[in-house]
Each structure stands twice: as C-alpha cells, then as structure tokens.
Structure 1
Amino acid sequence: MTNKEYESYYVPSQSHWPIVGAVALFMIAFGAANYVTDLSKDQSGYGGYLLLAGIALVIYMLVGWFKDVIRESLAGKYSHQMDKSFRQGMSWFIFSEVMFFAAFFGALLYLRVFSVPWLGGAGNNAATGAVLWPDFVAQWPLLSTPDGTTTTAMGWYGLPLINTVLLMTSSVTAHFAHSALLNNNRKALKSWLGLTIILGVAFICFQVLEYSHGYSEEMRLFLDSGVYGNTFYLLTGFHGMHVTLGCIMLIVMWFRILKGHFTPENHFAFQAASWYWHFVDVVWVMLFVFVYIL
C-alpha cells in the first residue's frame, strides 16, 4: 500500500467566514433591489449604501478566508485528498459559470432564431406580426423598436477585434507562465504572469472605451435600446466583470509568487486561477462570434 492510502484528512476548525459571507450576500441582494427601486421612482434611499456595504463585506470575507487557507496550505496541513477536494470545487465553480453564460447565449439565440422571425410573420405568425408591429423588419441586429428608438450596431472590427487579440494572447502567456512554474523557472514565471495581467487590464480599459463609444450621440447604443442593446451589454458586461475577477485572481497569484509561494509539485491555487482565465478567454471568443460577427 502507498502512503497516500494512510493520509489524514485535515478538518479545519470552526470558522465565522461562511456566516459573514451569507450576511454580505443578503446585504447585496437587498441593497441592489432597493437601489433599483429607488432609481425607477427617481428617489434617493439607503439601497445604494447597503449595496456598497455588502460589497465591502464580501471583499473583507474573501481576504480573510483566503488568508486562512493560504496559511494552512503553507503550514503543510493539506493532503492529497484535500487537493482533490479543491480541484473538484474549482471544477464545479467553473461549470456553474458555464451554465450562467449558457443562459444568456440561449436567450440571444432564442431572440434571433424564434422571436424576431415570428414578429416578421415567419411560420404561422403572419397575423401576429401584422397586428403587433405592421412595419416590422425581421433582421438582426434589431436597430429600431416599436416606440421609435433607433440605435447602431457595434461592429466587430476596431476595439472588439483588438480585445480579441489581447485575450487570446493572454491565454498563451498564461500557459507559458504555468509551464515556467512546472520547470521551476521563477524569473520567466513572474514575467509571463505579469504580461498576462497587463493584457487583461488592457482588455478592461478598451472595453470601457468601447462602452463610452456606444453611449455616444453618434451610436446611441444604450442598455435600453431594445433587445439588441439589452443582450449586447448584458453579455459583454458580465464577461467584463469576469475578466476583472480573473485579473484580481492573477494579481494575487503574482504577489504570492513574489513572496516565494508555489512549487512545481504544489501550486493548485495558481492552476485554478489559470483555469478560470482560460475559461473567460473561451467565452469571449464565443461572444465575439455570436454578438459581434454573426
């Protein structure tokens, strides 16, 4: 029998972090709901403050909880079984993110394949289209709405293409960083990971610039510009949020590397961040194809 069959399974002591996280999430949900309600009524209330307090509490919880996990890992308390648990947990987390984006992609495809053609009289819906919107033109992107709102489609060239190149390149540099870690080349590891972070931050900056261009008087591509504006900002906005989270994860890994953490045999935290980064890269490629090109 191998030694792994006799490994002890580390059970951490009772922690207050889960209840702190639960309270923080409740504050975010309740605060966001009240904030949106106040906006719709053109009022100022406590919702925004509660939302910010919840976000601050989540950040406090994450810093404290991960600090405890890092300390336990460096102390050698985690066994091979714990490593498998971390891998399974990260795998299920990424799977949940896949389902999250699948819902939005499903909504986009439903609009393009079913809803828009039905309004144009496709199939047995000729009467429906004539009654609801007689002058409707079944095309995508949908650039005009029944109330007369018009907008402009965001092209795939320019900033979106640049961002695609940036993220695809960052996926390659992240792989090189992982390879450098496996070869115990700390200098190359710092350089490749630092370049990956720079590319990710550049992506976020260019997306902000793209949004400012979309909200200009020239394009008038707003969140409320019909289903096209809705789907465009929801898909790209949530992806931008995930890129931001991925950058934060990589930055934390970079500072840990500067402190001498991780070895070729023990570096799952870095690997988990790398998995997540590759995931957001793949999602962006799909977004670029289905939102910008097709």
Structure 2
Amino acid sequence: MTNIIRGNFQSHPFHLVSPSPWPIYTCISLMALTTSFVLMINKFTYVNNFLFLAFVAVIISMSFWWRDVVSEGTYLGDHTLAVQRGLYMGIALFIISEALFFLAIFWTFFHSALAPNIEVGTKWPPMGVSSINPFELPLINTILLLSSGITVTYGHHSLIHAHRNGVLHGLFWTVLIAIFFTYFQSVEYLDSTYTLSDSTFGSCFYFGTGFHGFHVIIGTAFIAVGLWRCLSYQPTENHHLGLESSILYWHFVDVVWLFLFVSIYYWGS
C-alpha cells in the first residue's frame, strides 16, 4: 500500500527523517561538556562557567531534538508499526548495553571482594572502612524503588485500558517516589564514613551506586515527560511508545538496584 507522507508518495512504511540541525548541535555540546569537565578536574581557571554553559547547551539541543521526535510520532503520523518495531529494538539494545555496563561494575566488585589482596588488608570490607548498615537507608530506598515499580506498572495498565485517572496517579506517584529515593541517596552519601578514594571498596561503591543514581535521575525525567504528555492527551492505549520505553527503562533501574542492594550493601558489608 502506498503511503502519503508530507505530500510524497512512498511504497514502504519506514520513516526517512528530514534534515535536522539538532544531532550535530548535540554532538558539539557534548564535546564541549566533556572537554570542560576534564579541564575542571585539572583545575583550569574559569572553566566552571564553560561547563555550565555546555550543560545548558546539551539540555536545550536534546530537548529540541526530542520535541521534533514527539511531533513526528504524535502529529505527523510518521511512527508506523514498522518504525515502532525499530524503535523498540533500539530501546532494547540500549538497555542491554546499560546492563553490560553495570555487569562490568559488579565484576570489578566481586573480583576484589572474593580475593582481597594485601593492599586492602586481605579482608573485605578493607581495614578502616566501616560499611553502611543495609537495613537502614538502603532498605528504605529498596522499598521505595519496588513501590515505584508497582505504581508505574499500574499507570501503564491504566493507559492500556484507557483509564486516564489511573495513568496520571500512577505516573505522578512514580515521579514523587523517585525524587524521595534520590534525596535519601544523597543523605546516605553525606553520612557515609568513606569516600571514593578509600580503596577499591569506596571506588566500587560510589561508582556503582552513583551511576545508578544518575540513571534514576534520567528515568525520573523520562517518566515526568511521559506524565506531561499524558496531561496533554498525547499517548493513547494503542500508541504510547515513548511512555512504554520509559517504563521499561525504569524496571531496568529497579532490577539493577536489587543487585546493588544484595551484593554491595548486604553481602559486601
């Protein structure tokens, strides 16, 4: 069947994107961000201002890029079933790459914990490191994340069954719980007795939990955008690719936290 898209006849269901300035702007902004960050670490003068400007440039360019993607899928009808399958595959591959990233972190942790060398006192946690009690703030955060997984699933199923109030309430509570999780994680960092430079234990702990916290912040923004789009009546029960992608990403964040809690907080302590 021949489709008519923007006045052009084509005999395939795929979306051939129009020329856009946002990918190159995003690349330039990211290059400026990473360069400024490296210069900041090396204590160059006044580089903090450039770092802030680069970060703002990244947010602006990516926001305009995603705005165009939302318009293509919501208003222009470019996201056909074939396009949606490709986007689903892209999200799946992205989550797999993230899982392998965290696998490397766990590999490092267990490599050091199962056979601690003489530099850390041949014990784990190393000598002089007082680990965090897993049944205090970490347990609260675990309950919060598991609860957020329930609320976001409730919102998803409500959208499938065209129950608008359920969608809004489910996503709202998910975002609120995620904010509380991030706050408690920052409190935990402030109260911990060791730092990133305290042996391999401190490096693995902050690297793993810190990057997970970064993913939580990204997932919170992801779901918050989905909530805003639901308020604007954009997703439907048959077409909600962006929201479903954010939900899949959030479930991945939940699963990673369970592994972090069991391995680093409980077993590793």
Give me the TM-score of the superposition, normalised by structure 1: 0.84
* Partners of 1:20 and 1:61 within 8 A in 2: yes
Instruction: Give 1:141's aligned amino acid.
Output: P
Aligned equivalent of 1:130: none
* Shift in Å, 1:250: 0.7
Partner of 2:252: 279
C-alpha distance in structure 1 between counterparts of 2:60 and 2:69, whole Å = 14
Structure 1 residues 102-149: Cα deviation after superposition (integer angstroms, max 9, x where no partner): 1111111111123x1x43xxxxxxxxxxxxx6xx6422111x3xxxxx
Unaligned runs of 5+ in 2: 4-10
Separation in structure 2 between the aligned mates of residue 91 and residue 46 of structure 1, nearest angstrom: 41
Instruction: Tell me, in whole angstroms, the C-alpha distance in 2 between the residues paired with 1:286 and 1:8.
Output: 41
Matching of residue 62 in structure 1 with residue 46 in structure 2: no
Give the 5 Å matches for 1:47-86: 47-75=47-75, 76-86=77-87
The equivalences for 1:34-183 within 5 A come to: 34-38=39-43, 44-75=44-75, 76-114=77-115, 116=116, 118-119=117-118, 137-142=121-126, 144=127, 150-183=128-161
Of residues 29, 32, 37 in structure 1, which corresponds to 2:34? 29
Separation in 1, partners of 2:21, 2:94: 22
Shift of 1:7: 4.6
The letter for the 1-side match of 2:70 is I
Higher relative contact order (CA 8 A, sep 6+): 2
- 1:20 equivalent to 2:25? Answer yes
- Residue aligning to 1:127: none
Classify the secondary structure of the residue corresponding to 1:8. Answer: coil
Deviates more, 1:250-259 or 1:47-56: 47-56
For 1:227, which of 200, 205, 228 is the aligned residue?
A: 200
For the residue of structure 2 that corresponds to 1:156, the secondary structure is coil
CA distance in 1, matches of 2:14, 2:223: 28
In structure 2, what is the equivalent of residue 11 of structure 1? 16
Task: Say if 2:146 and 2:254, in contact at 8 Å, map to a contact too.
Answer: yes
RMSD of aligned alpha carbons: 1.9
**Which ranges of structure 1 fall in alignment gaps of 5 or more residues?**
39-43, 120-132, 145-149, 215-219
Would the aligned equivalents of 1:200 and 1:243 in 2 still touch at CA under 8 Å? Answer: yes
Take 1:161 and 1:172, find their aligned partners in 2: how far apart are those partners? 17
2:169 match: 191
Give the Cα–Cα distance (whole angstroms) in 1 for the partners of residues 52 and 35 of structure 2: 11
The 3 A distance-change label for structure 1 pair 206 and 66 is same
Q: Deviations over 1:145-194 (max 9, x none)?
A: xxxxx332111011000000000111111111110000000011101111
Q: How many angstroms apart in 2 are the aligned matches of 1:210 and 1:200?
A: 15
* Structure-to-structure mapping, 1:258-277, within 5 angstroms: 258-277=231-250
Matched with 2:7 is: none
Distance 1:63 1:28 in 2: 16
Q: Shift of the alpha carbon at 1:254?
A: 0.5
Q: Map Cα deviations across residues 78-121 of structure 1 (whole Å, 9 max, x no partner).
A: 2111111211111111111111111111111111123x1x43xx
Residue 250 (structure 1) aligns with = 223
> How far, CA to CA, are the matches of 1:84 and 1:200 in structure 2?
29
Q: Which amino acid aligns with 1:279?
A: F
Counterpart CA distance in 1 for 2:74 and 2:81 is: 14
Are 2:233 and 1:292 aligned? no
Match runs of 1:205-244 below 5 Å: 205-214=183-192, 220-244=193-217
Is the Cα–Cα contact under 8 Å of residues 13 and 83 in structure 2 kept in the other structure? no
Task: Check whether the contact 1:30–1:47 (CA below 8 A) recurs between aligned residues.
Answer: no
Higher deviation after alignment, 277-286 or 29-38? 29-38
Question: How far has the Cα of 1:49 moved from its partner?
Answer: 2.6
CA contact (8 A) 1:33 1:47 kept: no
* Secondary structure at the counterpart of residue 94 of structure 2: helix
SS at structure 2 position matched to 1:153: coil
Counterpart CA distance in 2 for 1:103 and 1:20 is 31
Higher Rg: 1
